[in-house]
Amino acid sequence: MTGSAPPLLEVRGLRKTYGDRVVLDGLDLAVDTHEVVCLIGASGSGKSTLLRCVNLLESVDDGRVLLDGREVTDPTVDPRDVRRDIGVVFQAYNLFPHLTALDNCTLAPVRVHGVPRSEAVDRARGLLDRFGLAAQADVHPDRLSGGQQQRVALVRALCTQPRLLLLDEITAALDPELVGDVLELVRAEAEAGMTMLLATHEMAFAREVASRVAYLHQGRVLEIGPPAQVLGDPTEEATRRFLRRVLPERPPGAPA
């Protein structure tokens, strides 16, 4: 964090519980504009919950979330105002099965953002085309492959021109050979300067696109820093243990 401007997204002391289970326990995190922050950690470490708290799908039990320095966890804030500026892609795609790919993508621009239909359609077709989905624009989601569905979901999130993109393990449900297509799009968006907070299992991808990697452990950010440091030379023992479990075996003879 440098300069006087507040970070685009700031999370301070966030706490979230489900019944007796404490999922987030005083979590702090800041994401600057144009930054790509990858959240890693074991399942249940709170990655998804954090993302859901940021776009106010979950109410928080303590702490605060700030966008541009404005607290959005204030109960008087209209969640829709917050969500207008945030794009979300879910692990299970969550496309609307009763709408075609194109209509999935134009729903929010037309109904929420007041974009004229023809303009929204042009923009959506342009993006679908760029992402290799031109032929699928008028097809319903259930007829698409997982990789295609997830790319449509990405386009849907981008069509509202969000300032922040939240990606929740978007490749976790995909075949390995489809993962590449989806991540290619994310990489392109990152290079175009999109601010992103993403939960991922793809360590190689995190290493490549992340500005910083945050390791979540017991509801907090245990370690955060450039990917080379967190993934290559972590300072915390818990991080090291986690990485040993998820990273592929080192080839024999490689330095330990």
* b/e per residue 31-51 (b: at least 16 CB within 10 A): bbeebbbbbbbbeebbbbbbb
Find, among 75, 57, 60, 54, the residue nearest to 24 by Cα: 60
Interface with another protein, residue 26, by CB under 8 A: yes
Min dist CB 35 to another protein, Å, is: 24
If the CB atoms of residues 94 and 211 are measured against another protein, the closer one turns out to be 94
Run of H or E including 22: strand 21-31
Which residues between 191 and 250 bind another protein (CB under 8 A)?
Answer: 238
Distances (CA, A) of 168 to 112, 118, 132: 23, 30, 22
For residue 250, the 8-state DSSP code is P
- By CB under 8 A, residue 99 contacts another protein: no
- Count residues binding another protein (CB under 8 A): 15
**Which one of residues 36, 37, 53, 73 is an interface residue with another protein (CB under 8 A)?**
73
Question: In whole angstroms, how close is the CB of 184 to another protein at the nearest point?
Answer: 27
For another protein, give the closer residue by CB, 63 or 162: 63
Distance CA 85, CA 112 (A): 11
Residue with tokens 């679908």: 128
**212 within 8 A of 229, measured Cβ to Cβ:** no
What is the nearest approach in angstroms of another protein to the Cβ of residue 8?
Answer: 21
Q: Which of 6, 61, 103, 163 binds another protein (CB under 8 A)?
A: 61
Candidates 37-45, 61-69, 186-194, 197-205: pick the segment binding another protein (CB under 8 A). 61-69
* Residue ranges binding another protein (CB under 8 A): 13, 15, 22, 25-26, 61-64, 73-76, 142, 238
